[in-house]
Structure 1
Amino acid sequence: LIPVTNEVRFPMLQNNQADMIIAAASITEERKGSVDFSMPYFTVNLGILTKKDSNIHKIGDLMGKKIGIIRKTTGEAYIKKDGGYNVSYCNDSVDCYRRLKSGEIDGYCNNNLFVMVYPIVDPAVEVNIKNLGDNVFLGVAVQKGNVELLEAINKGLIALSKEGFFKKAYEDTFESFYKGTVDKKYFLLDDLYSFF
């Protein structure tokens, strides 16, 4: 396992420094041009973390305000495409959270799975905007043209789904951690794998 940042993970794959990217690799059309993706194993949407006292309940409430984002994420792509927001770049999720708490930014946009963590540990923040934009599918990224590895990963994902791995992993980790604040229907893809 190699720890990476958002900015270096895909170049590391392309430069043969890693065989695959597993954690939170969103499948996008742009990324498909430089890497190959497995079947999706998880889905997320974007969410926005705000302070409870900010009175922000919908995306329009953030027009003209500062939104924290992390470079090379689907949150950045959405906010820049939608326009009308003052973008402020953060180093990572914790940096965005700290900047929100200090008042430097008014919201933090990232995968809903990431931003929904903070209200569990800090009752002064909330995620009223939980399902922004289109579904984003997560997959395992491999170097372009590595068909053998890609086929092995896809077979493994199908086998894991048939064994109930993803459902059990969700129940053992997400349900207890998120304390009922997230619903598996937004994340699991068991229906997709039932075709195999």
Structure 2
Amino acid sequence: MVAGCGNSGGGKTAGNTAGGGAGTAQEIKVAADTTFPPFEMEENGKVTGFDIELINAIAAKENLKVNMQTMDFQGLIPALQTGTIDVAVAGITITPKRAEMVNFSKPYYHSGLSILVKKDSTIKGLADLKGKTVAVKLGTTADLMMSKDKSVKVKRFNNIDDAYNELQNGGAQAVIFDNPVNQNYINTGHNNVKVVGGLLTGEDYGIAVSKKDPELLKKINDGLDKLIASGEYKQLYTKYFKSDESGLIKK
């Protein structure tokens, strides 16, 4: 099973970004999940978001050419293992089990899971979910965590928007998902919901790379280091997360 976020679509090409520097740029096949705003989303037919801009900025530093496509979240790690793609960006939580299957870059975002409920809910934390129905995205760290709790009914969705709709429609009493995405949902016109109980986990997101290409992993890490050192990483972070620096990687 894959990471800590969501995705949609399958195999849709989103465009290329050529890296700078001397010589012919190395083309890399990058797949993203577009149902994980503000990290990945689709706007006016274009794939965009924090992760998308970050991988393109890394490519520019390392003379790489990004061939971007969208892919269902659960298909990302298998695609890396088979060589269908070289890189995956999808707010993927770094875990020991996943690290056995793919390589991960250095962390580029600190995250964690949180509980989203209606504003009039009496749920205050994890202990209050006993006997309740919780909506999660299939294959994410929230799904993995809640699958171990037999006192909770879990509804799984391929798209996090469907999980949010289940909460709004009363089919679930809570959604558990990555906190920045829950916060983004609140901040984009959904003022009838709230996050309760603080972060359930502490997680780091990494860029996933095929184990067959350790040199590419080195380039991605080097590019990320350059962006952090130059301040470009923080500028990009601020563009998407404003003054909330809880996820910021500091050096």
Aligned to 1:131: 199
**Equivalent residues of 1:49, 1:127 under 8 A apart:** yes
**Equivalent residues of 1:68, 1:108 under 8 A apart:** yes
Map of 1:42-191 to 2, 5 A cutoff?
A: 42-120=109-187, 121-133=189-201, 135-175=202-242, 183-184=244-245, 186-190=246-250
**Equivalent residues of 2:117, 2:167 under 8 A apart:** yes
Quote the Cα distance in structure 1 between the aligned partners of 2:207 and 2:230.
19
Letter in 2 for 1:188: L
- 2:71 corresponds to 1:11: no
Other structure's SS at 2:147 match: helix
Q: Return the structure number with greater helix share.
A: 1
Other structure's SS at 2:78 match: helix
| Residue deviations 1:61-91 (CA, integer Å, cap 9, x gap) | 1111011111211111222235421111112
Structure 1: give runs of 5+ residues left out of the alignment.
none
| Residue deviations 1:10-36 (CA, integer Å, cap 9, x gap) | 111112111101221111111111111
**Equivalent residues of 2:115, 2:125 under 8 A apart:** no
Normalised TM-score (structure 2): 0.69
Deviation at 1:145, TM superposition (A): 3.6
Structure 2: give runs of 5+ residues left out of the alignment.
1-67
Letter in 1 for 2:120: D
Normalised TM-score (structure 1): 0.88
**Equivalent residues of 1:166, 1:188 under 8 A apart:** no
Quote the Cα distance in structure 1 between the aligned partners of 2:173 and 2:212.
42
Quote the Cα distance in structure 2 between the aligned partners of 1:23 and 1:112.
14
Q: Please, which moves more after superposition, 81-90 or 60-69?
A: 81-90
Aligned to 1:38: 105
Letter in 1 for 2:161: V
Other structure's SS at 1:116 match: helix
Quote the Cα distance in structure 2 between the aligned partners of 1:165 and 1:128.
33
* Percent of matched pairs sharing the same residue: 32
- Give the number of the structure with larger relative contact order, counting CA–CA contacts within 8 Å between residues 6 or more apart: 1
Deviation at 1:173, TM superposition (A): 2.0
Letter in 1 for 2:223: G
| Residue deviations 1:66-125 (CA, integer Å, cap 9, x gap) | 111112111112222354211111121100011000111111111101111222211111
Task: Report the RMSD for the aligned CA atoms in angstroms.
Answer: 1.4
Quote the Cα distance in structure 2 between the aligned partners of 1:130 and 1:92.
23
Quote the Cα distance in structure 1 between the aligned partners of 2:232 and 2:149.
36
Quote the Cα distance in structure 1 between the aligned partners of 2:130 and 2:115.
13
Other structure's SS at 1:98 match: helix
**Structure 1 runs (4+) greater than 3 angstroms displaced:** none
